[in-house]
Each structure stands twice: as structure tokens, then as C-alpha cells.
């Protein structure tokens, strides 16, 4: 059973668990790694993903390692706590893209992750946030969370639009649709960097 973005209430703990007890409310980090490698090794080497590679939150019960759960405050509802994982993915994408104050960025896809990316980019200080999607409803949501301009890709070519406005491209592009043609558009829309490349980032 799948489901990798979830929170819940602890029903039982193992004999060696010290940080949590029955009744605690927690959110689960679904990425499980061995933790036995040095910092020089890819952090995701030999990892598995709860809810993708194993049963997840669609099962009646889920067993998590103590190190993969985080307590949540009483004021945070369980349904909102389940959004911690997609929000953290989005914030990390914005961080790795190097978004900084005054930047112009393009977000390709205005689904849940795309909306979080827009919010994270706004928090990072992006001056202009261009959002592209095929859904007018999603683009309306993008405006509500901080996009400064929204464009339906049924009507315009994103690369053409961006290059007409910014001949060298945007400071950063974030692709959150998971479709190769859109990923290619994200690459073509990004400004080249002299000391390295500001690559488009695709959150997991």
C-alpha cells in the first residue's frame, strides 16, 4: 500500500524507543537510509522510500524507525502536518537553486509542490515569480500564494515568453511537473552562470 506523505498518532513503541510514547502525534520522514556511510558518499545510497518501496500510510498501521519521526505541536492538525514532507522538498529545491533576494524565477507546474515552491521562493526574496501551468484553477492558486505573473502554456510558449522579457533567461527555473518536454523548457529558460550553472531543479 502506498502513501508517503503522512502523519499520525503513535499506537505502540518498541522496547528501545526513548523519544516517543503511545499517544504522541508525529509526522513521518519517508526516506530511510542506512546512515552507515561517510559524508563523501551520496546520502541516498542504499535508501528506500516508505510508501513507494514499502507499505505506507494507506496501510492500517505503519512501523517507522524512531529517527524517522518528528513530534508535532498540539496546535498543528494531523492533516496539515502531513504537508511537512512536500513543503520540505519544495524549500530544499529553492535552496539548492540558490534563489536569493531580487531574483526572477520561473516555476513550471502549479500543483501542490509547485505552490509550495512559489511560497518558498517568495520567502527567499524572489522579486518576480513566473508560474506556468495548463490549469487556470491552479494558476489562480499560484497567484494567491505569491506568483507575480501566471501564464497558461496552452496559450504561450514559456521559453519564448521568458526570452522576450529576459533575453538571458531567468535567474533560476524550477521544474515541478515531471515531464521531459517541460524539463527541457526549464533548462532553456535559465540564465547561464559564469562560475557554474544554475540548473533547473526538479523536487522529488
Domain assignment present for residue 11? The answer is yes
Instruction: At 52, list the grid cell.
Output: 513507494
3 CB-contact burial (10 Å; exposed 0-12 / middle 13-18 / buried 19+): middle
Q: CA 150, CA 137: separation in Å to the nearest integer?
A: 11
pLDDT of residue 115: 97
pLDDT of residue 60: 84
Query: Which H or E run contains 203?
Result: none
- DSSP for 89-154? HHHHHHHHTT--TT-EEEEE--SHHHHHHHHHHHHTT-SEEEEEES-HHHHHHHHHHT-SEEEETT
| CB distance 200 to 188 below 8 Å | no
pLDDT of residue 116: 97
Residues 3 and 16 in one domain: yes
Domain assignment present for residue 119? The answer is yes
Residues 68 and 93 in one domain: no
What SS3 state is found at 31?
strand
pLDDT of residue 192: 85
Number of domains, the chain: 2
pLDDT of residue 41: 67
Q: Closest Cα to residue 10, out of 28, 29, 23, 27?
A: 23
Q: Which residues 6+ apart lie within 8 Å of 112 measured at CB?
A: 86
Residues 78 and 92 in one domain: no
pLDDT of residue 37: 66
pLDDT of residue 33: 75
**Domain hosting residue 2, numbered range:** 1-82
Domain assignment present for residue 75? The answer is yes
pLDDT of residue 201: 61
Task: Spell out, as residue ranges, where the chain has pLDDT lower than 70.
Answer: 1-2, 34-35, 37, 41-44, 46, 48-49, 51-53, 194-204
Instruction: At 50, list the grid cell.
Output: 516508505
Distances in Å between the Cα of 36 and the Cα atoms of 18, 45, 49, 86 are 21, 10, 17, 26
CA dihedral 123→121→163→156, nearest 10 degrees, is -110
pTM of the model: 0.79
| CB distance 116 to 86 below 8 Å | yes
Q: CA 75, CA 174: separation in Å to the nearest integer?
A: 32
pLDDT of residue 174: 96
Q: CA 55, CA 67: separation in Å to the nearest integer?
A: 18
Residues 10 and 59 in one domain: yes
Amino acid at each position: 500500500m502506498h502513501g508517503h506523505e503522512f502523519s499520525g498518532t503513535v499506537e505502540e513503541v518498541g522496547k528501545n524507543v526513548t523519544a516517543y510514547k503511545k499517544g504522541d502525534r508525529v509526522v513521518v520522514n519517508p526516506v530511510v537510509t542506512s546512515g552507515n556511510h561517510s559524508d563523501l558518499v551520496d546520502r541516498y545510497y542504499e535508501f528506500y522510500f516508505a510508501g513507494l518501496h514499502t507499505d505506507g500510510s494507506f496501510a492500517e498501521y505503519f512501523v517507522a524507525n524512531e529517527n524517522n519521526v518528528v513530534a508535532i505541536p498540539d496546535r498543528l492538525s494531523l492533516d496539515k502536518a502531513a504537508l511537512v514532507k512536500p513543503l520540505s522538498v519544495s524549500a530544499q529545491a529553492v535552496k539548492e537553486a540558490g534563489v536569493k533576494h531580487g531574483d526572477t524565477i520561473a516555476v513550471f507546474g502549479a500543483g501542490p509542490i509547485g505552490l509550495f515552491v512559489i511560497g518558498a521562493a517568495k520567502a527567499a526574496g524572489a522579486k518576480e515569480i513566473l508560474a506556468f501551468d495548463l490549469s487556470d484553477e491552479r494558476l489562480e492558486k499560484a497567484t494567491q500564494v505569491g506568483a507575480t505573473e501566471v501564464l497558461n502554456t496552452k496559450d504561450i510558449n514559456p521559453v519564448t515568453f521568458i526570452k522576450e522579457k529576459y533575453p538571458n533567461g531567468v535567474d533560476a527555473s524550477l521544474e515541478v511537473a515531471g515531464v521531459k518536454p517541460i524539463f527541457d523548457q526549464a533548462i532553456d529558460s535559465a540564465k547561464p552562470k559564469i562560475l557554474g550553472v544554475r540548473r533547473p531543479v526538479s523536487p522529488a
